[in-house]
Structure 1
Amino acid sequence: MSVDILIASAPGGHLSVAEELFNESKYNFVYIITSSKKEIAKNKTEFIIESNRDFKIFLQFYFAFKFIVKYKPKCVISTGAGVAIPFLMIAKFFLIKTIFIESASRVKSLSLAGKLVYFFSDYFFVRSEQLKNKYSKVIYVK
């Protein structure tokens, strides 16, 4: 199975940002969400184990590899949190385009996930002029 876009996101605000950006009628995509709450399930959604900076991050690398091989995306996008790290790193290994969208709440410094994926992202979007001036690679959007 092949999709244009694989979206890796934590639930809550991170997922809300992704949902605002993508319209199912325009794009062929799949969500990968770190949650055990199936009630937030939508069409084209896979769930993986949550990791709070613990050993479960290794399981997320396994799932990132598994889902990238399964869906063969042309692009992997993440709106954060920690799930961005394994998915963008594995995508980069497969020479797949990677995009990270930093949280709008980050105005003075990047999130931990942002700092870690900054070098693995082909495109890195921020919504803070302070961050635009601080990091050369970022793309500022209002």
Structure 2
Amino acid sequence: MKVCLVGSSGGHLTHLYMLKKFWDDKDRFWVTFNKEDAKSLLKDERMYPCYFPTNRNFINLVKNTILAWKILKKEKPDLIISSGAAVAVPFFYIGKLFFHTKNVYIEVFDRVDSPTLTGKMVYPVADKFILQWEELKKIYPKAINLGSLF
């Protein structure tokens, strides 16, 4: 199984890295911002830098959509996992529509009773949508509440 882990640097990347017990023995690659925290944490990993800022930035959405197409065509992952933010959107849609990936989205820990914009956008193409708070089941009825990842 080949896994694509895609997300912003900072807290989103930390969430994904905390899943190490899952991805450690998998063929994997990362898509994240080319920032110091990501470069340090992923120094021994295969990483593709994406364009930022991403939130509400149409130009970088277009650039990251083109990037998603190129990376997914080259890597052909079976599974895409993300905890946000906006860079996940083009990877989830292109992955699902053109490469038939399974998509897993993890809504971030600090969202207790309101959704993230990215979560709302990828919910329709997520095969598994994971919550860390039961309160969000009102917004995402098909989601699975696993509780805190921390």
Q: Same fold (TM over 0.5)?
A: yes
Over the aligned positions, Cα root-mean-square deviation in angstroms equals 1.6
1:35 to partner: Cα distance: 3.0
1:119 to partner: Cα distance: 0.5
- C-alpha distance in 2, partners of 1:39/1:89? 26
Which residue number in structure 2 is paired with residue 32 of structure 1? Answer: 31
Which residue number in structure 1 is paired with residue 68 of structure 2? Answer: 64
1:36 to partner: Cα distance: 4.5
Which residue number in structure 2 is paired with residue 131 of structure 1? Answer: 136
Which residue number in structure 1 is paired with residue 47 of structure 2? Answer: 45
Q: Secondary structure at the match of 1:99?
A: strand
- C-alpha distance in 2, partners of 1:56/1:36? 16
Does structure 1 conserve the Cα–Cα contact (< 8 Å) formed by 2:105 and 2:126?
yes
- C-alpha distance in 2, partners of 1:119/1:98? 10
1:28 to partner: Cα distance: 1.3
Match of 1:92 among 73, 93, 96: 96
TM-score (norm 1): 0.91
Structure in which a larger fraction of residues adopt helix:
2
State the 4+ residue runs in structure 1 displaced beyond 6 angstroms.
none
Query: How many residue pairs end up in the alignment?
Result: 140
Percent identical residues? 31
1:81 to partner: Cα distance: 0.4
After superposition, residues 77-116 of structure 1 pair within 5 angstroms as 77-93=81-97, 94-116=99-121
Higher mean alpha-carbon deviation, 68-77 vs 25-34, is at 25-34
Q: Secondary structure at the match of 1:118?
A: helix
Any gaps of 5 or more consecutive residues in structure 2? none
Any gaps of 5 or more consecutive residues in structure 1? none
